[in-house]
Amino acid sequence: MSLMDALPTPRLRWEGWHPNVVLVSLSLIMLAAFWFFDVVSMAPNRIVLGTGYGALEAFGWPGALLATLLLSFIGILACQPTHRHYRALLAAVIVIMALMPVGLMASSYLLIDPERPQARLGLGTAYWVVLFVLLLCLVELRLRLNLTRIWPTLLLCGVAVVWWLCAAFGLETLALVQEFKARDQQFLSAVAQHIKLVGIAVSVSIVLGLALAMLMRRYARLQKGVFAVLNFLQTIPSLALFGLLLAPLAWLAANVPFLGQLGVSGIGTTPALIALIAYSLLPIVRNTYTALEQVSPETLEAAKGMGMRAGQRFWQVRLPLALPVLLEGVRITTVQAIGLTAVAALIGAGGLGTFIFQGLGQAAMDMVLLGALPILMLALVVDAGLGALAEALRPGGTR
């Protein structure tokens, strides 16, 4: 036997080494973004474009080294993942998210002159990339730890509280905070109007969707026609549908005094609600119809054998078993409506979309974020809440 045959092969050294490639790759992406992109930007006022600063200029050597160690910690633990390591990784991701506003406070102290109150600190490309990748890490860890959707949302709500406290007491120079302070009452009104539009549209869609699904089950000939109409409505771009509603609603308001007294007009809330309801019907009807049809015939026969009447079988057997799938339709509809309501601002319906379009018109990206970030947070909370409720209502669901 030769000497080469007697030596162990390099492959043996790596036996049992099964890294989580996803988390390792995400850690490397965050490190690259942190060191090669601008971390923050600083502008002397709202009009002048900001100047970007890298990690060393924004945080100094101690801060940059600490951030590098924290981001590297994710990749290191992911090289030999265990259940305990995944728990530690989850804690690390949450801690890093919670420390990000503290880093902004340090950058504000290092970069902004206290004698220039109009100076504004903005988030750089690296900050957005790291935040987005951390959310991807959270998704991966939720799957690995087999957590329900509600847990990441609760953790993110805790992170949001930390961000809010830092913004309220130590980030007065942050451009997003300055935009909020300049129009805080308008912002709160926009949030309330946005939630109101979504709530009304989804509520009406649920009632109409249930009625249509029930009619389609009773009269099978309606199925193709109803789905064809609802699919056609989905193909119309949102702006086009809002525009198509302006003329007929304006004519009705002018020629039917009763509708005018109710507040119907070509612009404003009425066309926004009609369009949102039209877009929301398809997921509700499809999921409701599918859920009701998928209930096992054997289960219904067993209920019939127990002496249940038709109405009892529907309300006590068919509907409870169909409820998880039905809630998935409500979840999809609500998340879709939260996003589409932003476009309704173009026809005077209000909501958070007002800040988005005003910011685009003024080339003020921080005002755009003032409208876009709450929409994103609303969508995440609703998606997690309704998704967790649907999981809990599934037969045998324990999570």
Integer angstrom CA distances of residue 272 from 172, 176, 283, 347, 351 = 36, 28, 18, 8, 11
- Angle, in degrees to the nearest 10, between helices 125-144 and 83-111: 160
Give the pLDDT of residue 193.
93
Confidence of residue 3 (pLDDT cuts 50, 70, 90): very low
Q: And the tokens for 398?
A: 């324990």
Confidence of residue 17 (pLDDT cuts 50, 70, 90): low
Given CA atoms 198, 201, 206, 212 in this order, what sign does their dihedral have?
negative
Confidence of residue 396 (pLDDT cuts 50, 70, 90): low
Give the pLDDT of residue 34.
93
What structural domains does the chain harbor?
A: 12-179 (no CATH), 184-397 (1.10.3720.10)
Give the pLDDT of residue 397.
54
DSSP 243-310: HHHHHHHHHHHHH-HHHHHHT--SSSHHHHHHHHHHHHHHHHHHHHHHHHHTS-HHHHHHHHHTT--H
Compute the residue count for the chain.
399
Give the pLDDT of residue 375.
93
Does the structure show a pLDDT above 90 at 338? yes
Contacts by 100-103, CB closer than 8 A, 24 or more apart: 100/127, 100/130, 100/131, 100/163, 101/162, 101/163, 101/166, 101/167, 101/170, 101/171, 102/166, 103/39, 103/58, 103/59, 103/63, 103/67
131 or 259, greater pLDDT:
131
Confidence of residue 5 (pLDDT cuts 50, 70, 90): low
201 or 173, greater pLDDT:
201
Contact (Cβ atoms closer than 8 angstroms) between residue 93 and residue 163: no
Confidence of residue 218 (pLDDT cuts 50, 70, 90): confident
User: pLDDT, tens digit, for every residue of 356-382?
Assistant: 998 888 877 888 888 999 999 899 888
Label residue 250 exposed, middle or buried (CB < 10 Å: 0-12, 13-18, 19+).
Answer: middle
User: pLDDT, tens digit, for every residue of 176-199?
Assistant: 888 888 888 999 999 999 999 999
Give the pLDDT of residue 393.
77
Mean pLDDT of the chain: 84
Give the pLDDT of residue 289.
85
User: pLDDT, tens digit, for every residue of 21-79?
Assistant: 999 999 999 999 999 999 998 887 777 777 888 999 888 898 899 999 999 999 998 88
Does the structure show a pLDDT above 50 at 13? no
Mean pLDDT over 343-350 rounds to: 85
Does the structure show a pLDDT above 50 at 341? yes
108-112, 306-310, 374-378: the lowest-pLDDT one: 306-310
User: pLDDT, tens digit, for every residue of 130-173?
Assistant: 999 999 999 899 889 888 778 888 888 889 899 888 888 888 88
Give the pLDDT of residue 203.
93
User: pLDDT, tens digit, for every residue of 222-246?
Assistant: 888 888 888 888 888 877 887 788 7
